[in-house]
Amino acid sequence: MKKVIIMGATSGLGKEIAKFYISKGCVVGIAGRRTELLKSLQSLCPDRVHIQPVDVTSADAPAALEKLVRACGGMDLYVHSSGIGFNNPQLTLDAETQTVTTNAVGFTQMIDTAFNYFARQGHGHIAAITSIAGTQGLGAAPAYSATKKYQSTYLTALAQLARVRRRSVRITDIRPGFVRTALIEGGRYPLQMNVEYAARRACRAIERRRRIAVVDWRYAILVACWRLIPRCLWERIPVYGK
């Protein structure tokens, strides 16, 4: 039975991805900070679902992930969905630094723990939900867009490392556009996808072992177009209101 661990499974995309792998008959390890929500997801299939409270920013998070892997009897696929983000053109320091701590420091701790586990094992698959926000700097959300770029660059580095070290560790970078979850609640964003649809596209990309997948096709076109915009022009575009 395939063993799948999902970090950030208490809500949104991570929760839907967890439901997908539970429905596929996998052994599923789910983690996040909100234990009650983990328990409620576990109740769908208590025999095959293991839970572990994890705050990715804490120093004991790598040990907590290893504990969850042991509870599941191993790990074949690690999915990282934990993340936070704020619209913060006022540059409120707390929001910016919290975002860096979760999306960069927490991400690194977890992804490295999974990578080292797979490198020792000789095979495995890491998938992370980054964002299309990482493809350009966004004035509305500086820390969010910068940390998402960090995540994508980090994944590229690990994909290279796996090849150079001849380890069969597959890396998938999933870059969604706007998805109707708690992360964007209250905001007015265009082309919003519902979470079930976006998670289905994400799972399809994972199952096809894609290296990079923009979710969905409309955002793939958008990203391809905005990549053509020269920096001097991009920096003049008012992507957000005040």
Ligand X SMILES: NC(=O)c1ccc[n+]([C@@H]2O[C@H](COP(=O)([O-])OP(=O)(O)OC[C@H]3O[C@@H](n4cnc5c(N)ncnc54)[C@H](OP(=O)(O)O)[C@@H]3O)[C@@H](O)[C@H]2O)c1
The one among 84, 111, 127, 205 contacting ligand X by CB under 6 A: 84
Distances (CA, A) of 176 to 89, 136, 198: 22, 14, 7
Q: What is the sign, positive or negative, of the torsion defined by CA atoms of 23, 24, 25, 29?
A: negative
Which one of residues 83, 95, 154, 214 is an interface residue with ligand X (CB under 6 A)? 83
Considering only residues 27, 50, 96, 106, which one is a binding residue for ligand X as defined by CB under 6 A?
Answer: 106
User: Binder to ligand X among 26, 54, 79, 141 (CB under 6 A)?
Assistant: 54
- Rg of the chain in Å (alpha carbons): 17
39 touches ligand X by CB under 6 A: no
From the list 19-27, 89-97, 181-189, 223-231, the region that binds ligand X by CB under 6 A is 181-189
Of the candidate spans 40-48, 158-166, 177-185, 225-233, the one that interacts with ligand X by CB under 6 A turns out to be: 177-185
Of 172, 180, 185, which Cα lies nearest the Cα of 214? 172
User: Residue 6, interface with ligand X (CB under 6 A)?
Assistant: no
Q: How many residues bind ligand X (CB under 6 A)?
A: 30
Question: In whole angstroms, how close is the CB of 187 to ligand X at the nearest point?
Answer: 9
Interaction between residue 134 and ligand X (CB under 6 A): no
Q: How far apart are CA 34 and CA 106, in angstroms?
A: 16
Q: Where are the alpha helices (DSSP H) in the chain?
A: 12-23, 35-42, 61-72, 93-100, 107-121, 142-164, 195-207, 217-226, 231-234
Closest distance to ligand X from the beta carbon of 87 (Å): 11
Spatial separation of the C-alpha atoms in residues 51 and 56, rounded to whole Å: 15
12 near ligand X (CB under 6 A): yes
Beta partners for 127?
A: 79, 172
We find the least distance from the C-beta atom of residue 111 to ligand X, in angstroms, to be 12
